[in-house]
Structure 1
Amino acid sequence: MAYPPDPAEPPVVPPALAIGHSTNLVGVPMDFLTSCDFNDGPVPLHIAGAREMNPGLFEMLAQAGDLTEAGDAFSCYMNAMFGIDPEQRETHTDRRGGRRRFRSSFLNLIKGWGFDSNGAEGAVLKGWVESRFGIFPTFHKDAIRRIASGAWTTYVAEKMSSRFHNNAIYVQLDLLFEFCQWALARFAAPGQSHLTLYRGTNSFDEHQIVRRIDKRNVIMRLNSLASFTSDRDIAGCFGDIVLTAKVPAPKVAFFNHLLKAHPLKGEGEYLVIGGEYRVAANYF
C-alpha cells in the first residue's frame, strides 16, 4: 500500500514541470495561482473576455430564480450559440452514404472524462486548463516528468485531436467555467470561499507529493484537472486512501448539480483545477 514518502526524500515534482507556462488568461501570477497561498486566500478567477463577449448569457442567468432555471438558461444559450442539441452532437450518414462529423460539445468531453480521464477527451480538457490557466498536467496515461517525453508527446497529440477541436470547443469550456463560478456564488455555495472535497486513490502517480507535513498531511501537486467528490463514501469506492482537501471555490470548473442532466451526476463529482494543495491522506 502506498504511503506518503519520507520527508528526507527529494520532491517528486521535476523542475521542468514544476508550474507551467509563465502566463495565463486569468490574470493571476503563476507562482501564486499554483501555490497553497492561493488556496489559503483565493481571489476570483475569470477567463479574459469570456463574460465580456457573452453579456446576453449573464443577462439571462440574472433572471433565474434557482439553479435549475439557470442551468436551463445556460443550456439554451449554448445550444443557440454552438448548435449542440442532441441531433447535432452525433455523427450520421448523409444521403450519399458518407460520414459527416457534427459539432463538438463540452458535454461530449465531460462524458468522455467520466469514462476515462486519461482518454482523448481528458487530454482536451487538460489542454484547455493549460491554455487558460497555464498549468501543465502531471499525468496522462503515464506520469509526465519532462517535456518531450513519450507521455508528454501522447498528451499533446491527443489534446490537439481534430476530432474534438471544432465548434470553438475551448470557448465552450470557457463559458462552462464562467457559468460554474457564477452558479457557485449565486446558488450552490454563496459566501463560501472553500469546499471540502474528497478523492480516493491507491497510488500517488497522478498526483505527486511535494512535501510531507506530518504523518497524514502532505502538500501534493494535483494534476492540472482532477476529479473530486463531495461524498467521502463515494471517494472510498475509488481507492483505499482518501484524500481530503479544502478546495477554493474559484478552482472549481464543474460540479455535479450544475446542469440538470450530465454523465457525472451519480458520483457527486467536482472537476478541480490543479496546483499545489494541502491534503490529508487517510485510509478509508
Structure 2
Amino acid sequence: MKPDLPTVPLAPPPPGHSTNLVGVPSGLLASPAFNEHPLRLHISGVRETSPALFRMLEDSTCAEEAMDAFQKYMAAVFGVNEGPERRPRDDGAPRPGPRLFRSSYRRLLQGWGFDANNPEGAVLKGWVESRFGLLPTFHKEPLGRYPSRAWMTYVEEKMCARFHNNSIQLQLDLLYEYCQWMLTRYIFPSRRHLTLYRGVNDLSEHYVVSTLSRREAIVRQNNLISFTDDREVADQFGDTILEVQVPLVKILFFNGLMPGPVLKGEGEYLVIGGDYRVQMSYY
C-alpha cells in the first residue's frame, strides 16, 4: 500500500540570494506566507525601459489584440521571427549568406517543453535566479552542497553562450511583465490564485520542509517548475498528484498567452517556485 506521505529528504535552509530585482526579500518570496498573501511583483525598470510595448497593450481592446501587439513588438525589437531573407527559397534551397542563430524566449520555452533539464531549462532557471533571487533545487539531479558536479553542470549550461545573445534576459523580463499584464487585464482580472496540479512518481526533485497532516505538507518546488490546470493531465505524469494554490504573480507563462505551438496541449503553466503548501492525493 502506498504511504500517505512519501519519505523524502528534509529541506536545507531556504536557498536564495540576498538581493533580487523585484523588491521583495528572497526569503519572503519563497515562503508559504507570500504564496498565501501575495504582493504585486514587477521586475525593476522593465516597464520604464519598454514604454512602447505597454502603450500598445493598453490600446488593445481584447486579449487577441494584446497578443498581436506583443508578437509584433518582440519581432521588431529582437527579430525573434525569422525574416524572408533567411527563409528557404521557393525551390527549397537555402538562401546564400551566413545563417546566424538568434536566441529568443520562444526557443527557450520550446526547449523546456522537450526537457526542463536541458540547457534551455538551465537558462530559464538562471533567469529566475537572477531576477527573483531563488536558487534552483534540481537540474538533472538534486542540487545539494555547493560546489559539486551537479552544480557545475547547471552553471555551465545556464551560461551557455548559444542562448545568451540577442538580449535574452530582457526578452524574458518582458515575457514575465506581459504575462502579468495579461493575467490582470484579460485572463483572471478578479483572482489572486489558481489551483494547479503536478503529477509525480516520487518527490526526489523536491524537499519536504514540514509535514502538516497525513496528506498535506510544505514542499519546496524548484525555482521554476511546470504545473497544469487539468488534473487528468497531471495524472498522466505520475500517480502522486500535487495540488497547489499558485499566486498569479508567480506565473511566467501559460499556454493561452500567445498563439503558436508553444507549450500547447497540456494546460501547462510555468511557475516561479519556493515553498508551497501542497495537498497530495493518489490515483
What range is the shorter-chain TM-score in? Answer: over 0.9
1:51 — aligned with what? Answer: 47
Quote the offset at 1:149 in angstroms. 1.0
Query: Structure 1 137/91 Cα, relative in aligned 2: closer, same or farther at 3 Å?
Result: farther
**What is the correspondence of 1:67-216 to structure 2 with a 5 Å cutoff?**
67-87=63-83, 95=96, 100-216=99-215
SS at match of 2:142: coil
Quote the offset at 1:260 in angstroms. 1.2
The letter of the residue matching 1:248 is P
Q: Does the 8 Å contact 1:19/1:275 carry over to 2?
A: no
1:14 — aligned with what? Answer: 12
Quote the offset at 1:2 in angstroms. 7.2
Quote the offset at 1:259 in angstroms. 0.3
Quote the offset at 1:238 in angstroms. 0.6
The letter of the residue matching 1:13 is A
Query: Structure 1 113/84 Cα, relative in aligned 2: closer, same or farther at 3 Å?
Result: same
SS at match of 1:80: helix
CA distance in 2, matches of 1:188, 1:207: 30
Q: Kindly indicate whether residue 5 of structure 2 is the aligned counterpart of residue 38 of structure 1.
A: no
**What is the correspondence of 1:266-281 to structure 2 with a 5 Å cutoff?**
266-281=265-280
RMSD: 1.9
Q: Does the 8 Å contact 1:4/1:209 carry over to 2?
A: no
Quote the offset at 1:94 in angstroms. 7.3
Q: Kindly indicate whether residue 23 of structure 2 is the aligned counterpart of residue 27 of structure 1.
A: yes
Structure 1: stretches of 5+ with no match in the other structure = none
Q: Tell me which stretches of 4 or more aligned residues in structure 1 moved more than 2 Å.
A: 1-6, 90-96, 99-102
Quote the offset at 1:153 in angstroms. 0.6
Quote the offset at 1:43 in angstroms. 0.4
SS at match of 1:28: coil
Q: Does the 8 Å contact 2:199/2:237 carry over to 1?
A: yes
CA distance in 1, matches of 2:261, 2:134: 26
Q: Does the 8 Å contact 2:6/2:202 carry over to 1?
A: no
Quote the offset at 1:207 in angstroms. 2.1
CA distance in 1, matches of 2:282, 2:4: 10
Q: 1:2-22 CA deviation, whole Å, 9 max, x = no partner?
A: 76356xx9x62223xx22101
Q: Does the 8 Å contact 1:21/1:134 carry over to 2?
A: yes
- TM-score by length of structure 2 reads 0.93
Query: Structure 1 274/162 Cα, relative in aligned 2: closer, same or farther at 3 Å?
Result: same
CA distance in 2, matches of 1:196, 1:24: 27
CA distance in 1, matches of 2:214, 2:204: 19
CA distance in 1, matches of 2:4, 2:125: 27
CA distance in 1, matches of 2:104, 2:191: 30
Query: Structure 1 276/269 Cα, relative in aligned 2: closer, same or farther at 3 Å?
Result: same
Quote the offset at 1:158 in angstroms. 0.2
Range moving further from structure 2, 205-214 or 37-46: 205-214
CA distance in 1, matches of 2:83, 2:243: 40
Structure 2: stretches of 5+ with no match in the other structure = 89-93
Identity %: 54
CA distance in 2, matches of 1:101, 1:3: 53
Among residues 57, 60, 64, which one is paired with 1:61 in the alignment? 57
CA distance in 2, matches of 1:5, 1:84: 43
